[in-house]
């Protein structure tokens, strides 16, 4: 079941985490976004063509997820969910890039 949540950081910015169906149709992905506020985080994803909504705070980001997104220059990461094996976070470009022809 897709879900998501958010966490307010001490500086006032937010980390939003969403679990969404994989665009390729296989399982789910967990997406992390760092932004000034929740609406801006969702706008960043919508500008990439994703239809996202955040209703509630059922699956907030874990401390490890917060650390990962804060240390990434784009502040926008993803990986498969649930992660069966240790998997690195990837930039959002690799999720949305067109596959090989």
> What was the pLDDT predicted at 98?
62
State the pLDDT confidence band at 84, using cuts at 50, 70 and 90. low
Residue 53 is predicted with a pLDDT of 87
Q: What residue ranges do the domains of the chain occupy?
A: 4-96
Per-residue pLDDT at 96: 75
Residue that is written with structure tokens 């705070």 in the block: 57
| Per-residue model confidence (pLDDT) at position 1 | 44
- Model confidence pLDDT, tens digit, residues 14-40: 999 999 888 777 788 899 999 999 999
What is the per-residue pLDDT across 44-74, written as a single tens digit (0 to 9) for each? 999 988 888 888 899 999 999 999 999 999 8
Furthest CA-CA distance within the chain: 45
Q: Determine the pLDDT at residue 83.
A: 64
How far is residue 81's CA from residue 30's CA, in Å, rounded to a whole number?
6
Complete DSSP assignment for the chain: ---EEEEE-TTS-EEEEEEEE-TTSSSEEEEEEEESSHHHHHHHHHTTT------S-SSPPPHHHHHHHHTSSSSEEEEEES-SS----EEHHHHHSPPP-
């Amino acid at each position: 079941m897709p879900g998501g949540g958010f966490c307010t950081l001490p500086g006032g910015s937010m980390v939003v985490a969403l679990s969404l169906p994989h665009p390729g149709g296989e399982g789910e992905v967990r997406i992390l976004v760092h932004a000034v506020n929740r609406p801006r985080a969702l706008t960043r994803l919508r500008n990439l063509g994703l239809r996202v909504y955040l209703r509630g705070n059922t699956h907030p980001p874990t401390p490890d997820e917060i650390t990962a997104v804060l240390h990434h220059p784009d502040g926008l990461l993803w990986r498969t969910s649930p992660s069966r094996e240790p998997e690195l976070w990837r930039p959002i470009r690799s999720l949305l890039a067109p596959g090989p022809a």
